[in-house]
Amino acid sequence: MIDMARFFAAILSIAALAIGVGCSGGSATLSGSVGQVQIVLGGDATVSAARHGDGDDDGGDDACSRLKGAEVTFTAIVARNLEGSLVPLSLEYPVTVDLFALRDDGPVALPLGTLPPGTYDQLVVVMSTLTLTTRNGTQIAISPPPGGWTKIIRVEPFEVIEGETTTIRIRFLRQLSFKLFGDRFGFDPHFEQDDD
């Protein structure tokens, strides 16, 4: 079980790190030995609501049918090790990805990052901006909550080994992530490990 006070304090620290990295135009540097981590982000065109324990149609299909693009900016990614510590994944931030292109153009490999050697069982992603493009070409900026959108992704434990590259495949679930409230779009990002 996560100690929520420690978790949010760590996230605030990561957000501050991400801002510093974004302003400097470089990546955070980890001292000592590191292993490389490649995160590959893919899309899922259709998702069964029952699979995620939600039997209601809450607007995801309608929202997705009105959109043709959704560019989101990742400002930080952290990994939790088996000791419960959150460790920043060092890579070149910010990273902008069109979440809708994942379906049509295939998976996107984020810039290669590094982590200290060890075993990790969770990722936390922080996103700062989202710009939607509707079918008629209108662009809509969605404001994030304070600190950005933060999502925990539970993954099968993976080992980072010094001098080697570990690949983690993550799937973005767009029909669960976009909602339509009248004429207004909402965003609650959902991700899961891609076992395919």
Burial class (CB in 10 A: 0-12, 13-18, 19+), 107: middle
Q: What is the mean pLDDT of residues 23-50?
A: 66
Phi (first) and psi of residue 149, to 5 degrees? -80, 125
For residue 100, give both structure tokens: 């809708």
Per-residue model confidence as pLDDT tens digits over 108-153: 999 999 999 999 999 999 999 999 999 999 999 999 999 999 999 9
Average pLDDT for 11-15: 49
44-61, pLDDT tens digit by residue?
755 444 344 444 445 567
Whole-number Cα distances in Å, 101 to 96, 122, 172, 190: 12, 25, 11, 16
148 within 8 A of 15, measured Cβ to Cβ:
yes
Domain ranges of the chain: 4-193
At 49 the three-state DSSP class reads coil
Contact partners, residue 36, CB within 8 Å, separation at least 6: 112, 113, 114, 164, 165, 166
User: Taking the model in full, what pTM does it have?
Assistant: 0.78
Phi-psi label, residue 150: left if phi above 0, alpha if psi -120 to 50, beta otherwise: beta
The neighbour count for residue 71, using CB atoms within 10 Å, is 16
Instruction: Give the residues across from 80 on adjacent strands.
Output: 86, 122
Work out the pLDDT band at 103, boundaries 50, 70, 90. Answer: confident
The CA distances from residue 178 to 56, 125, 148, 183, in Å, are 14, 17, 16, 13
Pair 48, 167: CB distance under 8 Å: no
Instruction: Let me know: does 95 contact 33? Beta carbons within 8 Å.
Output: no
